[in-house]
Amino acid sequence: MGVLASVVTPPLGRALDRAAVEEGVQRFAAAHATTRELAISRGSLARLELDRVAHTLTVSVQRTAKVWDTVAAYPLGSAQITCSNPTMVFSPIGIGHGASNTKVVFARGAAADTVTTSRTGRLRH
């Protein structure tokens, strides 16, 4: 029984690591698309904020020049997250506003994946 566990456990661990990374990437991509479409549909700035410690994304829309209304907060799963810019803002036409390009890396164990967003609002991974 011990031999069987030692043979099965490493591949299972790698599969779980890959699944955790893929979950984070898919959730980030969905929140990115939601925020971009929200900016277009509301005709205002929309912001996507990444909290690396809490592993969450927060979607907000701008009500006035200095007031943002939080629309939703989404969990990103258990993968570790590093990013170059934790805040992305989309203009009413769906492109990045200001310095909205970022590179987000999801990693767990030996599995890792990178998602890159451009100023034009596109996402690539």
Q: In whole numbers, what is the pLDDT of the chain averaged over residues?
A: 91
Query: Going from the N-terminus, what domains does the chain have, and what CATH number goes with each?
Result: 2-124 (3.55.40.10)
Cα(57)–Cα(73) distance, integer angstroms: 6
**pLDDT tens column, 36-54:** 999 999 999 999 999 999 9
Cα(5)–Cα(10) distance, integer angstroms: 9
Q: What's the predicted TM-score (pTM) here?
A: 0.89
**pLDDT tens column, 85-116:** 999 999 999 999 887 789 999 999 999 999 99
Cα(112)–Cα(122) distance, integer angstroms: 21
Q: Extract the tokens encoding 43.
A: 């005709």
pLDDT at 47: 96
